[in-house]
Amino acid sequence: MHQEGLLGSWFPDATAASLNLLRALEVSMGILTRQWPQLAKQLQHPLKDQAQGKEARQRTLLAMTKLLGLLSQNPQNAEATLKRLKYSRNEIQMVGILLRNWPDWSGLLARDFCTASDRYLLFQRAGAGFPALVLWAITTHLPLHPEDLSPTDSILQDLLGRLAPWVAEFLNPQSPIAYPQLLLSGRALMRALDLSPGPEIGQLLAQLTLAQVEGQIKTVADAIALAQLLRAQRLELE
C-alpha cells in the first residue's frame, strides 16, 4: 500500500496492477535476453540526450518501457504527466511513440498474416522504439505470477513464435521491409519529373516506397514510371 501511495503521488494513473506489470517486465527482460540478446542489448542503450554518466544510464529505452505500466494509455495524458515530472523531450517523445503504436502492434501480433506494407509501416512508426514494443508484448502476455512461468508454456511459445519473424527483420540491416533502400532520392525524383521542392515530393516518395516494399517496382525505371502515373492521376483530380 505504501508503494502504491508513493506511485500515485507521481503517477496518478498507476494502480496495484502497475506493480504487477513492473514485476512481470523484469521476468520478460530475462526471457528477451535469452531469446534475442542482441535486441535486449538495445533496450539498455541510453536515449540520445544531454544526460551524462549515471543519469544517462537511467535514461534508457528499458526505463521508458517501465513507464508504460505507470501512465495513462492515452498518449496526450501520459505526455502531460511526464512533462510535469520534468522528463526530457526525448523521453516524452519515445513514450508517446510506444503508446501510439501499441494498439496497432498488438493487433498485428494477433494476425496469422501481415502484409509487407503492414510490417514496413509499423517499423517506420516505431523506429528505435521497436525493441520496447517487443518487451511490452511479452510483459502483457505473462500470467499474474510470472515467476512461476514455465519456459515451455504454450501461450509464451506461441507469442515468441509470432514475434520471431518481426525481430529477425528488425535485426537484419539488409531487410527490404524494415530498412528499404530507396530506388529514387528526392532530388532524383525532382529531376526525373521536373518538379520543384515541396510536400508533393515526400508524398510521392512515400507511395513509391510502399510500392517497392510490396514488390510492385524493382528498378529506377519502374519507380519513375509509377511516379509519373501517380502525378498524372493527382493532376486529374485537381
Residue 177 forms part of a structural domain: no
Are 19 and 86 members of one domain?
yes
d(CA 212, CA 209): 5
Q: What is the pLDDT of residue 124?
A: 97
Residue 118 has pLDDT above 70, yes or no: yes
Which is higher by pLDDT, 184 or 17?
184
Mean pLDDT of the chain: 90
Helices of type H across 86-198: 89-110, 116-126, 130-141, 154-171, 186-193
**For the chain, percent of residues with pLDDT exceeding 70:** 88
Q: What is the pLDDT of residue 2?
A: 39
Are 23 and 129 members of one domain?
yes
Q: Could you tell me the residue range of the domain that residue 195 belongs to?
A: 186-237
pTM of the model: 0.89
Residue 155 has pLDDT above 80, yes or no: yes
- The residue among 171, 196, 217 that closes a domain is 171
Q: What is the pLDDT of residue 9?
A: 78
Please answer whether residues 66 and 43 qualify as being in contact, where contact means their C-beta atoms are separated by less than 8 angstroms.
Answer: no
Are 103 and 57 members of one domain?
yes
Residue 170 has pLDDT above 80, yes or no: yes
Cell of 61: 529505452
d(CA 69, CA 13): 9
Which is higher by pLDDT, 47 or 28?
28
Residue 107 has pLDDT above 60, yes or no: yes
